[in-house]
Structure 1
Amino acid sequence: MADPNPQEDFSKLTADLAALREDVAKLAESLATLAKQEGAAAAETVKEKVRSGKAQAEATAAGLLDEGAAAVEDAKACASALCRDASGAIERNPFAAVVAALGIGFVFGLISRSR
């Protein structure tokens, strides 16, 4: 059996520690590279989701704008038709229109007086 040589054991231990340090440094470098790659992939996924959400929101807003414009046009048409109908009724029967206006004024007067 060989006698243990502390100097030789210490040298081997120092060499092993140096190799271990290199391995840990390589592992840290590999993990950093992997983290960067995964972070970039995650960022790209988030960007794509944001783009998709933005496109959907824009499409919805455009649809709502079109629906609103159509509703405004319908309301204008209804108001115009109502005005024409009211004008026609007043021209056909002016006395009834004056009596109706007086009645409406009287009712509003009573309502406002009670407060």
Structure 2
Amino acid sequence: MERHPAVSERRLCGLLALNRSTVWRQKKGVSRRVVNLEKECEKRELVERMQELVKEYPTWGYRRIWAWLRFRDLLCINKKRVERLMCENGWQARCIVNTPRPRVAQSISQASQPDER
């Protein structure tokens, strides 16, 4: 339907014996499909760019990848989205866990005077 038609939407639906909600539901459904296709294309491009960055900088985590995309590539993107995409594709940076060193057995020190050790 046009923006300013000669016949109103209400009158047209009455003549065709259609509910107005049906007309709106169909309008919404078509536009959502188009938007979803656009988002899929955008997502593919983003994932490809992220893959390039991960290959170039394998030790970078999602925060640094996000910062690069946001401030160098000037993409308006959320940190949570970058984190989710990296998790889905298995690109999470591995954390190096420092385990405490084993203690060396030493003789127990004994104070010869108070407040000494």
TM-score category of the 2 structures, normalised to the smaller one: 0.3 to 0.5
Structure with bigger helix share is 1
- TM-score, scaled relative to structure 1: 0.36
> For the pair shown, which has the larger CA radius of gyration, 1 or 2?
1
- TM-score, scaled relative to structure 2: 0.36
Of the two structures, which has the highest relative contact order with CA contacts closer than 8 Å and spacing of 6 or more?
2
